[in-house]
Structure 1
Amino acid sequence: MTFNDNAKVGGNTAKRRGRGAAIAGGGVVGLGAIAVLLLNIFTGGDFSGLLGGGAQQPAAAPESEIADCDTGADANARDDCRLAAASLNLDQYWTGVMEGYRAPQLIIVDGETPTQCGTASNATGPFYCPPEETVYVDPTFFAVLRQQYDATAGPLAQLYVLAHEYGHHAQNLLGVMQQYPNNGTGPDSNGVRTELQADCYAGAWVADLPKQVDEDGVPFMQAPTQQQINDALNAAATVGDDHIQQESGGFVNPESWTHGSSEQRQRWFATGYQDGATACDTFTVSGRSL
């Protein structure tokens, strides 16, 4: 995924917030923290208390603009600017497919910051907080995936993560979260269906990327290459419940799943990419088809 260098992205409303402090003493997240990270990934839950010594939340830090993020060239150069710029694409896409859409707030986390859904940091991973209608992402999270789990975590993979969280925002606005409350764990649970639908929505957005344009009609991004699509699929596989369990040294237990298997996450992303958001109804298919 590549932004067009001359695309204007300075109108994004993303903010930076946090203490600017490294997590876990120096910013290198250990294996215990990685397990917590993967437990929290793509959810509003906060299991950071399992890390120990970090239960006390810091005071809220002031917000600031994402500086020097005005063009597609800036977005290509920096993870934080890439995420901020992509919020314009995501808002444009969802405005076109959903009546009454309103944009969430995107917070780029610097270190850590408290939220109504728990502490946001690279140890808890990106998440959407429904009461705030806010997406939280610490860009150093992507380095963690590369270093600890051999994920490629390239530009389109990063934006798949962001688009997944915006998918949760769409679910919140559509009433999906209220209609299908989380009913525990398991391969057929509402939680898994909710996550797979957000993956599908992310795929639908990626397919629409070439149609999204700035104020001058310049496309924000170039059409993704097959390698970039493979990179996004790699990210989806990395955060599959079965892969997480295997990498954590345990056995695969589908009854404890909260997000779906690597195969499911890749398949539903591909479904959205090929067939659009209208194909993303994960709640009416049978468990065997899920």
Structure 2
Amino acid sequence: MRWKDGRRSDNVEDRRSVTPGRVVGGGGLGIIVIALIAMFFGVDPSQLLQILNQTGLNQTTQEEPSSRSTQPRPDDELADFVSVVLADTEDVWTVLFKKMNETYQKPRLVLFSGAVQSACGFAQAAMGPFYCPADQKVYIDLSFYQDLRDRFKAPGDFAQAYVIAHEIGHHVQKLLGISDQVQQARQQASETQANKLSVMLELQADCLAGVWAYHAQKMRNILEEGDIEEALNAASSIGDDRIQKQSRGYVTPDSFTHGSSEQRVRWFSAGFKSGRPDSCNTFEAKKL
């Protein structure tokens, strides 16, 4: 991926040197439960965070104001890379929202190490990157990229960019009112149907990541040979079926919350081939 000559975003918060507030009440147990559920059952960790936060099981003290975040150091190459990818998403979605007669509100991206306090609750790195709709921020511990390479066998800088673009896809869904509608529908649905709605939401975010890649390539010629294959490999590697098979030895499709490997690859590809957000309507698709 050609990224080093790209614009750097001003919307990166570096909290890697910040120690989150001490967990009180049932928070410590809640985080362990979240990590286990997210790892073994494929449940969206950001949704679990919101549930714990609402029920009071995830209470923490606030970070000290004096230890608030700053911009990452310019000699920190991985953080620098993330800043460029975030800037690319800002540029692409600003243009696309303008075409829809909408205004794109740029999200913040928070770098953390080990654990972090978000408006959706207290999160640990084991849960992976996530988007918190309550504060409209993306959270990522950069050590996840090592897991992506080693545990999920999905190396490459464009695989890393795909992860960010997917989370930004959730921000796009929030701004367009899609995620709020889905959350409301999930609350009134059976567990199986609620999971299916989550899959639709996640696959749409994959498709929107593909839309970003299409326009970033047109705007800035970012792609090198093998980049799209890296993204497709990453999408396949974190499919619910593959993760469930690896973690517990069998697959339960009704419990999927993100989609199968084949689905994730297909929807990212659909967005990349069309470059149109309206091609990402997973909620009315005849086939997911």
Q: Which of the five TM-score ranges fits, normalised by the shorter chain? A: 0.7 to 0.9
For 1:40 and 1:224, the matched residues in 2 are separated by: 32
Map 1:36-47 onto structure 2 (within 5 A).
36-37=38-39, 39=42, 43-46=46-49
For 1:187 and 1:250, the matched residues in 2 are separated by: 24
Question: What is the aligned-residue identity percentage?
Answer: 36
Q: Runs of 4+ in structure 1 displaced over 6 angstroms?
A: none
| Structure 1: gaps (5+ residues) | 22-31, 50-54, 213-218
2:63 to 30, 39, 60: 60
| Structure 2: gaps (5+ residues) | 20-33, 53-57
SS of 1:113 mapped into structure 2: strand
**Which residue pairs with 2:280 in the alignment?**
280
Shift of residue 122 of structure 1?
2.1
Matched residue count: 259
Shift of residue 185 of structure 1?
3.9
Shift of residue 245 of structure 1?
0.7
Q: Is the 8 A contact 2:14 2:71 kept in 1?
A: yes
**Which residue pairs with 1:170 in the alignment?**
172
**Which residue pairs with 1:90 in the alignment?**
89
Q: Give a deviation string over 1:51-109, Cα, whole Å, max 9, x none.
A: xxxx774642633333343xxxx6xx722221122111111111111112101111111
Shift of residue 34 of structure 1?
7.8
1:159 to 155, 161, 165: 161
Map 1:241-260 onto structure 2 (within 5 A).
241-260=240-259
For 2:123 and 2:178, the matched residues in 1 are separated by: 24
2:212 to 205, 222, 243: 205
Q: Is the 8 A contact 1:163 1:205 kept in 2?
A: yes
SS of 2:11 mapped into structure 1: coil
For 1:167 and 1:6, the matched residues in 2 are separated by: 24
**Which residue pairs with 1:150 in the alignment?**
153
Shift of residue 114 of structure 1?
1.1
Shift of residue 161 of structure 1?
0.8
SS of 2:282 mapped into structure 1: coil
**TM-score scaled by structure 2?**
0.79
**TM-score scaled by structure 1?**
0.78
Decide whether aligned partners of structure 1 residues 44 and 126 sit closer, same or farther in structure 2, where only a CA change above 3 A counts: farther
SS of 1:149 mapped into structure 2: coil
Q: Is 1:267 equivalent to 2:266 in the alignment? A: yes
Shift of residue 175 of structure 1?
0.8
For 2:178 and 2:161, the matched residues in 1 are separated by: 23
SS of 1:225 mapped into structure 2: coil
Q: Is the 8 A contact 2:39 2:127 kept in 1?
A: yes
